[in-house]
């Protein structure tokens, strides 16, 4: 064990706006003791994801408990079992689950999302493709988006950990996929790496964000037949810009709101009054949380692995080394500086 200490990333203070590395501190805790029906898991990889912003805004964390100063930061990890007193888990087994930002954690199986099979895919893939990002993309499309052959699927944050997978899964189902990104370089990545049919930026070459009206015109040019499915990873003006272009019975998956994550708790997120248009066009607009689908996460493993094997799904990881760099990796991901799924290698 790591010199008999348990390195932990502790919430030092809650952010006023978008979280930064300075909101955290490192502490050395004790390695927990494994009791009957439990196992001791050693963290191998940490996943940093946009949902963690909500954990740091306690009063607005409506769908799950948040964190407070002094708590170990919540996250999902790929971990290896190094001691076991549980009949269903043995030493050497690897699992993906909620073990938080620390070297060692106790489990009893209830926190395990999927068992890791490195014969199926490499270890890093289980943190992103088979973890939160892949499960979000798969179940968001499976349960709400349901893209059909020939339909147009629009994806915001198109080369992010979720968006890059959404585009490819929809493409594999015969849809035409269009991505929205923050830069020309990311547009190129969307087209060349992830197989998008078209990609546009929401900023001009000087870095100015387009107004919703300006962006609507750009989306219309990329989606001449309108939008059938919108996988919304951002919220804000980008979501507003898509509204005039929805086709009859379009489906909208509300997955993320990173564009408005700077709002303080209680500060309203004001958007269009859209009921009339939704009624007339019979649009389905539904919020999506991957946590509602954790109980069937194993069902997505086979289909996702098959797409990789068929060459239809390309996943990328952006790896930082060291648990002490997890806060920096989190900040980096939130600012869109990562290329692929941002993870942290711990051991």
141 near 169, Cβ under 8 Å?
yes
Q: What is the pLDDT of residue 58?
A: 56
Q: Are residues 150 and 114 part of one domain?
A: no
Q: What is the pLDDT of residue 204?
A: 92
CATH number at residue 49: 3.90.180.10
Q: What is the pLDDT of residue 64?
A: 64
Task: Please name which of 194, 151, 139, 176 lies closest in space to residue 304, comparing C-alpha atoms.
Answer: 139
Banded pLDDT at 97 (limits 50, 70, 90): very high
Residue 148 has pLDDT above 70, yes or no: yes
Q: Which domain holds residue 332?
A: 6-124+316-345
pLDDT tens, 209-224? Answer: 999 999 999 999 999 9
Q: Are residues 210 and 176 part of one domain?
A: yes
Mean of pLDDT values over 61-70 = 75
Q: What is the pLDDT of residue 338?
A: 83
Q: What is the pLDDT of residue 181?
A: 95
Q: Are residues 21 and 148 part of one domain?
A: no
Which of 58-67, 101-110, 274-283 bottoms out in mean pLDDT, i.e. has the lowest? 58-67
Q: Are residues 279 and 139 part of one domain?
A: yes
Q: Are residues 286 and 223 part of one domain?
A: yes
Q: Which residues lie across from 320 on neighbouring strands?
A: 344
Q: Are residues 216 and 119 part of one domain?
A: no
Q: Are residues 279 and 138 part of one domain?
A: yes
In angstroms, the CA 39 to CA 92 distance is 11
Higher pLDDT, 258 or 9: 9
pLDDT tens, 309-326? Answer: 999 999 989 999 999 999
**Where on the phi/psi map is residue 236: left (φ > 0), alpha (ψ -120 to 50), or beta?**
left
Mean of pLDDT values over 141-164 = 96
Is residue 65, in this structure, part of any structural domain at all?
yes
Q: Are residues 151 and 276 part of one domain?
A: yes
Is residue 307, in this structure, part of any structural domain at all?
no
In angstroms, the CA 97 to CA 86 distance is 16
Q: What is the pLDDT of residue 238?
A: 93
Is residue 302, in this structure, part of any structural domain at all?
no
Mean of pLDDT values over 191-220 = 95
Q: Are residues 279 and 207 part of one domain?
A: yes
**Number of compact structural domains in the chain:** 2
Q: Are residues 66 and 142 part of one domain?
A: no
Q: What is the pLDDT of residue 265?
A: 58
Banded pLDDT at 267 (limits 50, 70, 90): low
Q: Mean pLDDT of all residues in the chain? A: 92
Q: What is the pLDDT of residue 277?
A: 83
Mean of pLDDT values over 19-33 = 96
Q: Are residues 285 and 144 part of one domain?
A: yes
Helix (H, G, I), strand (E, B) or coil at 249: strand
In angstroms, the CA 203 to CA 194 distance is 21
Q: What is the pLDDT of residue 61?
A: 44
Mean of pLDDT values over 131-146 = 97
Higher pLDDT, 124 or 9: 9
| Whether the model pTM is above 0.85 | yes
CATH number at residue 217: 3.40.50.720
> What's 32's DSSP letter?
P
Q: Are residues 90 and 225 part of one domain?
A: no
In angstroms, the CA 103 to CA 72 distance is 11
């Amino acid at each position: 064990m790591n010199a008999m200490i348990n390195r932990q990333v502790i919430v030092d203070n809650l952010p006023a706006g978008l979280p930064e590395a300075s909101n955290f501190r490192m502490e050395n805790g004790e390695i927990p003791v494994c009791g009957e029906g439990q196992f001791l898991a050693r963290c191998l990889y940490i996943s940093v994801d946009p949902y963690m912003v909500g954990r740091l805004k306690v009063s607005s964390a409506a769908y799950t408990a948040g964190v407070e100063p002094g708590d170990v930061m919540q996250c999902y990890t790929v971990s290896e079992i190094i001691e076991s007193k549980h009949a269903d888990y043995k030493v050497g087994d690897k699992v993906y689950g909620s073990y938080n930002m620390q070297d060692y954690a106790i489990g009893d199986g209830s926190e395990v999302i999927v068992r890791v099979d490195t014969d199926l895919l490499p270890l890093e893939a289980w943190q992103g493709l088979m973890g939160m990002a892949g499960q979000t993309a798969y179940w968001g499309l499976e349960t709400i988006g349901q893209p059909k052959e020939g339909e147009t699927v629009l994806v915001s944050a198109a080369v992010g950990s979720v968006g890059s997978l959404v585009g490819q899964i929809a493409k594999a189902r015969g849809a035409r996929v269009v991505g929205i990104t923050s830069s020309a370089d990311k547009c190129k990545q969307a087209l060349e790496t992830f197989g998008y049919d078209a990609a546009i930026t929401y900023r001009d070459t000087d870095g100015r964000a387009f107004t919703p009206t300006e962006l609507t015109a750009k989306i219309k040019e990329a989606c001449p037949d309108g939008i059938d499915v919108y996988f919304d990873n951002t919220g804000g003006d980008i979501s507003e810009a898509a509204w005039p272009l929805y086709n009859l019975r379009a489906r909208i998956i509300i997955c993320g709101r990173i564009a408005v994550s700077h709002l303080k708790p209680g500060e309203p997120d004001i958007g269009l009054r859209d009921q009339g248009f939704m009624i007339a066009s019979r649009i389905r607009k539904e919020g999506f949380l991957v946590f509602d689908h954790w109980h069937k996460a194993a069902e997505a493993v086979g289909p996702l692995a098959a797409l990789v094997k068929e060459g239809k799904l390309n996943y990328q990881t952006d790896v930082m080394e060291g648990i002490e760099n997890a806060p920096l990796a989190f900040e980096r991901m939130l600012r869109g500086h990562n290329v692929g799924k941002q993870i942290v290698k711990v051991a």
